[in-house]
């Protein structure tokens, strides 16, 4: 295979001649396509968080007794915590392979805003690892006797809270990418950032359960999400630069 016949000069395009210049839109699309392909290659792994969530949700009735009223009262908060915990393992490895195989170096040298690539990675991560968790929420809600009229609020709260958590988690994951592997470290760092998110998401669910207006906490979550979409990718880019500068 090593037969490398010298080509004539015109077969190699000029070093400074560009057919398709780089543009940010194409870069995001290429990154999304790449991440989806990778997720598809490892689709077996995508079921693990789902399995984890189902197992934990199924354990609660055994621990607390099958009283539908008690379960229904705590179901919203329990499911919220389960989702947060199920997200953690995937968050930990969000940038680690890319750092190890040198892909992040290529990100840094590309004529693209690093923060935009980080945001795209967050979107791909949320779609592939978190969205399935939200999709199975009705099933888990049924396991725990969650009231049917509370379910939409739970879903809405999760739709706002989980992208926020992935954005925050991306910053932490980028910070920890250059460190020795340590899963509990990410949980420790995420806890302080997750507290407000959990409070407002759970606040909306609790309000819906007691028949009170639940829009205010959801609005706070949405505002925080908008803020995080702007700020978190910048912090994430700074963290990625630190990770690559070893």
Partner 1 sequence: MDSTAPGWDNTGLHAMIPPTATAAPLLSAHRLAFLRNDEPVFGPLDFSLGPGETVLVEGDNGSGKTTLLRVLAGTLPTASGDVRFDGRPASRDSRNGRVLWLGHRSGMNAALSPRENLAFLAGLYGVRAGMTAARAMARVGIDAWLDEPLGTLSAGQKKRVGLARLLLLPGAIWLLDEPYANLDRHGIELVNQLIAEHCATGGAALVTSHGAVQFADRAARRIHLDN
Partner 2 sequence: MSRNYLPHWLHWLGSPPNFYRFAGAVRPWLLAAALVTAVIGLYGGLVLAPPDRYQGDAYRIIFIHVPSAWMSLFIYATMAVAGLIALVWRIKLAEVVAMECAPIGAAFALITLLTGSLWGRPMWGTWWTWDARLTSELVLFFIYLGVIGLYNAFEDRRRGARAASLLALVGVVDLPIVHYSVVWWNTLHQGSTIVLTGKHSLFGASPEIALSMLWPLLVMALATHLYFFASILGRTRVGLLSLESGKQWVRNLVAEPDA
Q: Which of residues 227-246 bind partner 2 (CB under 8 A)?
A: 231, 235, 238-239, 242-243, 245-246
Residue 223 engages partner 2 in binding (rule: CB under 8 A)? no
**With binding defined as CB under 8 A, does residue 80 bind partner 2?**
no
The helix (run of H) or strand (run of E) holding residue 136 is none
Q: How far is CA 18 from CA 15, 46, 149, in A?
A: 8, 39, 57
CB nearer partner 2, residue 51 or residue 188: 188
For residues 6-45, which are near partner 1 according to CB under 8 A?
Answer: 6-7, 9, 12-23, 26-27, 29-31, 33-34, 37-38, 41-42
Spell out the residues 6+ positions from residue 177 whose beta carbon is closer than 8 angstroms to its own.
Answer: 94, 95, 96, 99, 104, 239, 240, 243
Choosing among partner 1, partner 2, none, which partner's interface includes residue 229 (Cβ < 5 to 8 Å by kind)? none
Cα gap 122→125, rounded to integer Å? 5
The residue count for binding partner 1 (CB under 8 A) is 47
The secondary element (H helix, E strand) that includes residue 87 is helix 68-92
Q: Find the shortest distance in angstroms from Cβ 44 to partner 1.
A: 13
C-beta separation of 170 from 122 below 8 A: yes
> Under rule CB under 8 A, which residues in 158-177 are in contact with partner 2?
171-172, 175-176
Extract the tokens encoding 237. 């880019």
* Residues binding partner 2 (CB under 8 A): 171-172, 175-176, 178-180, 182, 185, 188-189, 191-193, 195-196, 199-200, 203, 206, 224, 231, 235, 238-239, 242-243, 245-246
């Amino acid at each position: 295979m090593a037969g490398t016949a010298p080509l004539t000069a015109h077969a190699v395009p000029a070093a400074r001649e560009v057919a398709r210049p780089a543009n940010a839109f194409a870069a995001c699309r290429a990154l999304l396509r790449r991440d989806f392909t990778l997720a598809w290659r490892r689709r077996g792994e995508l079921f693990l968080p789902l399995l984890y969530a189902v197992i934990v949700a199924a354990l609660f009735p055994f621990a607390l007794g099958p009283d539908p009223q008690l379960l229904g009262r705590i179901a919203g908060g329990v499911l919220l915590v389960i989702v947060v915990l199920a997200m953690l393992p995937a968050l930990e490895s969000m940038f680690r392979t890319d750092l190890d195989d040198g892909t992040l170096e290529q990100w840094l040298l590309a004529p693209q805003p690093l923060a935009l690539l980080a945001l795209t990675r967050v979107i791909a991560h949320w779609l592939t690892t978190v969205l399935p968790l939200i999709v199975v929420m009705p099933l888990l809600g049924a396991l725990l006797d969650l009231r049917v009229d509370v379910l939409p609020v739970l879903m809405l709260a999760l739709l706002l809270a989980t992208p926020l958590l992935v954005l925050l988690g991306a910053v932490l994951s980028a910070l920890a990418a250059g460190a020795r592997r340590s899963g509990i470290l990410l949980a420790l760092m995420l806890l302080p950032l997750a507290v407000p998110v959990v409070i407002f998401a759970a606040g909306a669910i609790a309000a819906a359960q007691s028949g009170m207006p639940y829009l205010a906490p959801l609005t706070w979550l949405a505002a925080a999400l908008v803020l995080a979409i702007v700020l978190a990718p910048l912090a994430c880019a700074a963290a990625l630069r630190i990770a690559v500068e070893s």
